[in-house]
Amino acid sequence: MSKQEIKKVVLAYSGGLDTSVILKWLSDTYGCEVVTFTADIGQGEEVEPARTKALSLGIKPENIFIKDLKLEFIRDFVFPMFRANTIYEGEYLLGTSIARPLIAKYLIDIAKETNADAISHGATGKGNDQVRFEIAAYALNPDIKIIAPWREWDLNSREKLLAYAAKHGIKIDKKPNASPYSMDANLLHISYEGLVLEDPAQRPEDSMWRWTKSLLDAPDTPEDVTIEFEKGDGVAINGEKLSPDKFWEKLNALGSKHGIGRLDLVENRYVGMKSRGCYETPGGTIYLKAHRAIESITLDREEAHLKDELMPRYASLIYNGYWFSPERKALQALIDYTQQKVSGTVKLSLYKGNVIVEGRKSPNSLFDAAYSTFEEDSVYNQKDAAGFIKLNALRFIIANKKR
């Protein structure tokens, strides 16, 4: 499809410098009508200003879409991901990765609703997000045209973007206390990249962190918390039943208060380079500790081990943008099957960056003190272990005798 054939495009729009420049650039370069889509996934700031900004840039009111997706984000993306205890490369809780397929889904839906020919995004040609957005979009609509301005234009620095904005009368609002870092935020996490972080040997500035208290400022007294699970998903905190989005908001507040969830990571990007980023994932850090605790008494041993073996592959699928792939869906079906009896309550203590498990119980618990006690029991014959050991050692015995 040539530029002349694109009559309407749906842009993932935040109202910031990059996407405001893209909005104007699309109109000038493609001569097309622009539809804006702004997703509220809990980034912690008002999204309505994006409507005012889009209107000021000439977008028709009927072409401005703003959607509150916080509930759907946690319920349909974060919870399913964490049923697998998903972590990428041993540390990263995939806060940015898991949000991209949800945004792509709505870009495709809105393109269909508005009869748009294409979608567009502000991800750079160096990053993972271009891959995540576009693979998800093609999975949902193989005929969609995707415009990635960072792979087409020569506005490859903040200075050039600002110059373009000034030339075309695009007002860039400076937010109070705005961070100079490249940031991404949603209900699951906030990330920081750029500036001093581009040297992996440099310590992040203390002023960079926005969500979590430093360990010095965190309370000097531990706080006890209980989390209740039903079929692998969190449903209540301290006995209070909550919707998935409100559950996560409360968990984030608890983690932030106690300095939980900071991470300094050098990760392997899908496009081939290494990237250093810092993350705050307070609720996710607490949640994973609690989820593994309830699984420890409700899952069969081999069931739990199989999940742990599959988790790195599942994490890579999400990191690399394959949320809508058949293999991710197949793994999800297996993971969800294991969660049918993962219900119960976990007791935690939160203290200066630490999440300490202090007890767990479940109506589906497989823990049986009659078998595991260190005192005298009447159900386990300890002599049975000899035959088990001998059979498992038999191959070594035979091999050594042959030698």
What positions carry a catalytic annotation? 18, 100, 129, 182
Q: Are 148 and 163 in contact (CB under 8 A)?
A: no
**CA atoms within a 13 Å half-sphere pointing along the CA-CB vector of 252:** 20
Question: CB-based contacts of 334: which residues, under 8 Å, 6+ apart?
Answer: 310
CA-angle at 278, arms to 284 and 79, nearest 5°: 20
Listed residue (96, 136, 98, 85) closest to 335, CA to CA: 85
- φ/ψ (deg, to 5) at 346: -120, 135
Taking residue 398's Cβ as centre, other Cβ atoms within 10 Å add up to: 10
Question: Which tokens sit at 170?
Answer: 């695009």
Angle between helices 129-140 and 100-114 (to 10 degrees): 50
Q: Are 36 and 20 in contact (CB under 8 A)?
A: no
Residue with tokens 């567009």: 120
3-state secondary structure of 28: helix
Bridge partners for 311 per DSSP: none
Angle between helices 282-298 and 301-319 (to 10 degrees): 150
Asked whether the CA dihedral 205, 210, 212, 214 is positive or negative, the reply is positive
Q: What is the β-pairing status of strands 8-12 and 33-40?
A: parallel
Nearest-angstrom CA–CA distance, 93 and 96: 9
- Dihedral, 126, 132, 138, 139 alpha carbons, nearest 10: 150
DSSP 72-127: HHIIIIIHHHHTTT--BTTTB--TTTTTHHHHHHHHHHHHHHHT-SEEE----TTS
